[in-house]
């Protein structure tokens, strides 16, 4: 490109874009959902052309929160969800219902049990000792099972490398003889 000698980039006017500008992006559905208007199931990983906007007055630890607008594949009803960086997930806003997630419930249950155990240990020093002995017994059992599996694999997988090399050399010699003949 040609730039004249008197060109000054500071004289070019800046574009004034609105803060809530929407962009069109291609994304996959982040979770299984069901449309509220027609009942269509939208599975995780389904690709959509979505509009993305930054949510005003909502920030988590300096991270902006984005809202996505997609359309149902059957009835074209609008479905919206937004990012949830606090839980490293997405939250459903409207247009659909999020389907059951067993993994999330399991994680929440594990966290709850861990909290209960920590609270119990703070109040009762004997409980701390009991939990340590349980953990050490469990660890010993796991190590014993692992050792048994290793021994079982060693018994079943007896490979004689010397015999394999000898057999390979014999096959090579036989092929040389055939080629010479």
Helix 102-123 and helix 125-156: axis angle, to 10°? 130
pLDDT in tens, 3-54: 999 999 999 998 888 877 899 999 999 999 999 999 999 999 999 999 999 9
pLDDT by residue for the chain (181 residues), tens only, comes to: 899 999 999 999 988 888 778 999 999 999 999 999 999 999 999 999 999 999 998 899 999 999 999 999 999 999 999 999 998 889 999 999 988 777 778 888 999 999 988 888 888 888 888 888 999 999 999 999 999 998 888 877 776 778 888 999 999 999 999 999 9
- Listing DSSP states for 54-107 in one string gives EEEEEEETTEEEEEEEEE-TTT--EEEEEEETTTTEEEEEESEEEPP-HHHHHH
Report domain extents, the chain. 23-98, 108-157
- For residue 93, give both structure tokens: 């806003």
Cα–Cα–Cα angle for 78, 79, 85, nearest 5°?
A: 145
Closest CA to 132 of 117, 116, 146: 117
């Amino acid at each position: 490109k040609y730039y004249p000698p008197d060109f000054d980039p500071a004289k070019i006017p800046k574009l004034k874009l609105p803060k809530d500008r929407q962009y069109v992006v291609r994304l996959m559905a982040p979770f299984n959902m069901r449309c509220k208007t027609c009942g269509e199931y939208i599975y995780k990983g389904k690709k959509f052309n979505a509009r993305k906007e930054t949510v005003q007055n909502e920030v988590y630890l300096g991270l902006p929160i984005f809202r996505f607008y997609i359309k149902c594949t059957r009835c074209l009803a609008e479905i919206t969800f937004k990012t949830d960086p606090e839980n490293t997930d997405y939250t459903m806003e409207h247009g659909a219902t999020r389907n059951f997630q067993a993994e999330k419930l399991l994680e929440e249950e594990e966290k709850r049990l861990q909290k209960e155990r920590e609270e119990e240990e703070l109040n009762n020093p004997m409980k701390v000792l009991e939990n340590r002995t349980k953990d050490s017994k469990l660890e010993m059992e796991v190590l014993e099972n692992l050792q048994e599996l290793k021994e079982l694999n060693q018994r079943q997988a007896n490979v004689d490398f010397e015999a394999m090399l000898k057999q390979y050399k014999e096959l090579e010699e036989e092929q040389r003889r055939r080629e010479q003949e």
